[in-house]
Amino acid sequence: MEQKKALLCLAHMSGNEIKYIQEAFDTNWVVPLGPNVNGFEDDLKRYVCSEKSYQAMGTSEELYPNETYPQTIQPHENNPESLWKKSIQGLENKELVALSAGTAALHLALVALGVKAGDEVICQSFTFCASSHPVTYQGATPVFVDSEADTWNIDPELLETAIKDRIEKTGRKPKAIIVVYLYGMPARIDEILAIANKYDIPLIEDAAEGLGSRYKNQVVGTFGTFGVLSFNGNKMITTSGGGALICDGKEMKHRIMFFATQAREAFPYYQHEEIGFNYRMSNICAGIGRGQMTVLEEHIAHHKHITHLYAEGLKDVKGIHLHLNPSADFDSNYWLNTITLDEELKVKNQAKAYGKAITGAIGGAAGFVHSTGEAHTTSEPNTNVEAMRLELEKEGIESRPLWKPMHLQPVYANSPAYTNGISEKLFKSGLCLPSGPMVSDEDVRRIIEAIKNCIA
């Protein structure tokens, strides 16, 4: 029998999605606006502003006694409101705009902040390219800042150094700061916000991977001027493709909606005074999103459960470290579980790693990749990491190197960078492991066995 594949983060449907989509067809709302878009925004708004009230967070043994997960994911009767009753004080003003992608949400945050050609925007270097690419869409320059060792997210001290240095060198302040919640882990938000406020620079939180992660009980994405969410196929929940922007107040929401729908002025004919974009979420995708909201907390509980199993299984394995919340203030959604390997750890077939050039996308990721025909770049994961990836692949287990920092990407060779070596060291020593709602307890056990077996 063919072995079931363990993939990084595969989407999982609640069964409620089809109901909302059917409703859209029945009522003829197959357009980028409509009742599902409004309903999805309402659900999201209640969710991101809510106190942690959901009670499914028992121990994993209580939650999943019979190991038949994910079949045991039970959608809540399509009334997420009952779960997210109580709002955190001070967040009453937050608004949500559903968009076609997380990348679009980040882009519109920059547009709304007036980021233009010649401006600089500070961005966490250790991230996926969608955090910084929209800066370049505006003709602006990203200034990359390295991470700190506990959260893997932007280093507050280095952030302040960078701000001061940019002001000294250019005579102007950076227009915004983009912090990222990599793999779902909250950043040191208190310190980052204090610096943003001290220099009066707006903070954009890229919470694309961090939906539902909390810092001191508050959902990430609600601390700054803007928060970015993604509902791409591999994220915590999916709308097949989509995103949302968290912003302050109805007026800002309307401004974002204006830019997301081609910036049309109020006339009987098309009249344009500003450049807009076609970035609104469709009513069909929003229908999927409403269905997904009924399993969001279950998904997060499951990701945490998987982390718990990895922690148990790897605790006695020397040379391998699981990335965990640094303290009780941090409550990661553990979107992806990640490990780092000591450089001294020997892995089977390590000498053969990088033997041949890769021609396709790792893990069969969507889209087309360009093949350079080269097996090496100037900064790549250590040979034991690549050897482990290949050994796991033989067992039908998908793993992936940690994201390569943006300051090491050739496309950003001309961007200023403030580095401390941490993100590069993490990139060279780390792997992401299967973590999604379709990963069962049995899968995790098999993955841990496979990891142990490939140690030489």
Ligand X SMILES: *Cc1c(COP(=O)(O)O)cnc(C)c1O
100 close to 242: Cβ distance less than 8 angstroms: yes
Smallest separation, CB 65 to ligand X (Å) = 33
- Interacting positions 97-126 with ligand X (CB under 6 A): 101-103
Q: Is 338 in the site for ligand X (CB under 6 A)?
A: no
Residue 283 contacts residue 265 (beta carbons within 8 Å): no
Chain residues 353-372 in contact with ligand X, contact rule CB under 6 A: none
- Answer yes or no: are the C-beta atoms of 211 and 235 closer than 8 Å: yes
What CA–CA distance (Å, rounded) separates 150 from 162? 20
Could you identify the residue written with the tokens 């595969």? 10
Cβ atoms 442, 68 nearer than 8 A: no
**Strands 120-124 and 176-180, sheet pairing:** parallel
Asked whether position 430 contacts ligand X by CB under 6 A, the answer is no
Note whether 206 and 226 are within 8 A (CB): no
Residue type, 97: V
CB distance 292 to 47 below 8 Å: no
**Site stretch for ligand X (CB under 6 A), options 162-170, 206-214, 273-281, 318-326:** 206-214
Residue nearest to ligand X (CB): 102
Cα 427–429–435 angle (5° rounding)? 80
- Asked if 211 touches ligand X (CB under 6 A), the answer is no
Q: Which of residues 164-193 bind ligand X (CB under 6 A)?
A: 180
Min separation Cβ 286 and ligand X, Å: 14
Residues 227-256 as x/- pattern, contact with ligand X by CB under 6 A: ---x-x----------x-------------
- Closest separation in Å from C-beta 375 to ligand X: 26
Residue 405 contacts ligand X per CB under 6 A: no
Span from 66-74, 204-212, 255-263, 370-378 in contact with ligand X (CB under 6 A): 204-212
Question: Whole-number minimum distance, CB 236 to ligand X, in Å?
Answer: 10
SS3 assignment, position 152? coil
- Which part of the chain contacts ligand X (CB under 6 A), choosing from 203-211, 319-327, 374-382, 416-424? 203-211
400, 432 Cβ separation under 8 angstroms: yes
Q: Which C-beta is closer to ligand X: that of 283 or that of 350? A: 283
Least Å distance between CB 437 and ligand X? 17
Backbone phi and psi for residue 227, each to the nearest 5 degrees, phi listed first: -130, 140
Name which of 127 and 283 has its Cβ closer to ligand X.
127
The residues, any chain, with a CB within 8 Å of residue 410's CB and separated by 6 or more, are none
The least distance separating ligand X from the CB of residue 120, rounded to whole angstroms, comes to 19
Interface residues with ligand X (CB under 6 A)? 101-103, 127-128, 130-131, 180, 206, 208-209, 230, 232, 243
